[in-house]
Amino acid sequence: MFDFTNMTLSKPFTEKDVADTIVKYGFVILPEFFSKEEVDAIYSDHSDVMNLPVSLTDKIDFGNGEMAQVKRRTLEKHDKGFKHLLKHFYSDFSITVTKEYFKHYNIEIDDKNVLNQFEVEDDFKKGKSLGSDLHYDRVPALKMCLYLDDTTQANGALRIVPRSHARTRNIALSQYKNNSNSLYQKNFLKEEDLVASHPIEGKAGSVVFLDTYCLHGGGKLTENTRRRVIRGISWAIPLLSSYFDTEKILETDQFSFSKESFFHPRPVPENQTIESDFLFIK
Ligand SMILES: O=C(O)CCC(=O)C(=O)O
Ligand SMILES: [Fe+2]
């Protein structure tokens, strides 16, 4: 079992402690950050988001589960209120963590980009979850991920490659130099065996803040298990050079990136195709 001690914070801690840990390791684990009662309250909002009409959400049904992507603004305006989800995610705490985090990269994050969108996921069938192969996200973000179920390797806990975020950021930057459309990023690891990833196991109520450049992926669910998560997304600004330059490359391994991301913000222009050969970057 990987030793996550340095990447785990137990109360009390400050927003700056949280941000500094993400900067250093690419993520931070806050075990049982929310109480059982809070989790139950948030869970009812989770179901309500899942039941929103497709006109208000982007729904992805991927066989082993489903995910709804919804704007914070949509939840705020909706009659249902989603007050537990909004209160616990869009809190002074998470807003300050997010601002502190981006401040490290000299980014004044616009309020509308803080917890701008949510991904509400319900994995309930044996097999891989949607983003389960190791990758970095094409659109850089800080994600606040909440486990609503006790989560272990057996029900698809998030896997992570600690401290990979600086190296992948440089890989992304060199790709951006050739093409500024983030859809062209080769962001999935071709050979997962080349790096060691570690599942983050945790009780319901545990929170992980993730710099999505840190290599990550969901896991594989075994028979009769379930994993419900909510992720609140704060977008970074992909092309801002300060976001790339302040970190030194921490790793020296060679990564090869292949597949297309499961999520992208911009359609491929009709006259462009995605190159199929993967990238090797020193
Ligand atoms: O299934 C997971 O936990 C991974 C999700 C993911 O890739 C992401 O939130 O960017
Ligand atoms: Fe991802």
pLDDT at 267: 36
Residue 224: C-alpha distances to residues 127, 154, 155, 157, 246 (Å) = 11, 10, 9, 15, 45
Residue 11, phi-psi category: left (phi > 0), alpha (psi -120 to 50), beta (remainder) = beta
Mean pLDDT of 78-90: 96
199 lines ligand 1 (CB under 6 A): no
**CB under 8 Å to 179, separation ≥6 — which residues?**
none
* C-alpha 218 to ligand 1 mean position (Å): 5
- Whether the predicted pLDDT of 102 surpasses 60: yes
3-state secondary structure of 154: coil
- Tens digits of residue pLDDT in 234-273: 987 654 555 554 443 333 333 445 444 333 333 333 443 3
* C-alpha 215 to ligand 2 mean position (Å): 8
Mean pLDDT of 125-144: 88
232 lines ligand 1 (CB under 6 A): no
211 lines ligand 1 (CB under 6 A): no
Residues 166 and 146: their CA atoms lie apart, in Å, by: 24
Nearest residue (by CA) to ligand 1, atom 7, is 131
Question: From the CA of 219, which ligand is nearest?
Answer: 1
pLDDT at 121: 95
Closest atom of ligand 1 to 123 CA is 1
Nearest residue (by CA) to ligand 1, atom 1, is 218
- Whether the predicted pLDDT of 15 surpasses 90: yes
113 lines ligand 1 (CB under 6 A): no
208 lines ligand 1 (CB under 6 A): no
Give all domains of the chain, ordered by start, each with its CATH number.
20-164+201-239 (2.60.120.620)
Residues 259 and 248: their CA atoms lie apart, in Å, by: 26
**Orientation of helix 15-25 relative to helix 92-104, angle to 10°:** 40
138 — pLDDT class (breaks 50, 70, 90) = confident
* C-alpha 43 to ligand 2 mean position (Å): 22
Question: Where is pLDDT greater, at 189 or 29?
Answer: 29
pLDDT at 240: 56
pLDDT at 248: 35
187 lines ligand 1 (CB under 6 A): no
- Tens digits of residue pLDDT in 143-200: 999 999 999 999 999 999 988 887 787 778 777 777 767 777 788 887 777 788 999 9
Residues 206 and 144: their CA atoms lie apart, in Å, by: 10
Residues 88 and 101: their CA atoms lie apart, in Å, by: 19
205 lines ligand 1 (CB under 6 A): no
Mean pLDDT of 273-282: 30
Nearest residue (by CA) to ligand 1, atom 8, is 131
* C-alpha 210 to ligand 1 mean position (Å): 10
From 134, 145, 201, mutation site for ligand 1 pocket: most ligand atoms within 8 A of C-beta:
145
Question: From the CA of 151, which ligand is nearest?
Answer: 1
pLDDT at 99: 94
pLDDT at 222: 92
Mean pLDDT of 82-94: 97
To the nearest whole number, what is the mean pLDDT of the chain?
Answer: 83
pLDDT at 275: 34
| Nearest by Cα to 39 from 218, 152, 207 | 207
* C-alpha 129 to ligand 1 mean position (Å): 9
Question: Where is pLDDT greater, at 16 or 249?
Answer: 16
Question: Where is pLDDT greater, at 84 or 247?
Answer: 84
78 — pLDDT class (breaks 50, 70, 90) = very high
pLDDT at 178: 75
pLDDT at 209: 98
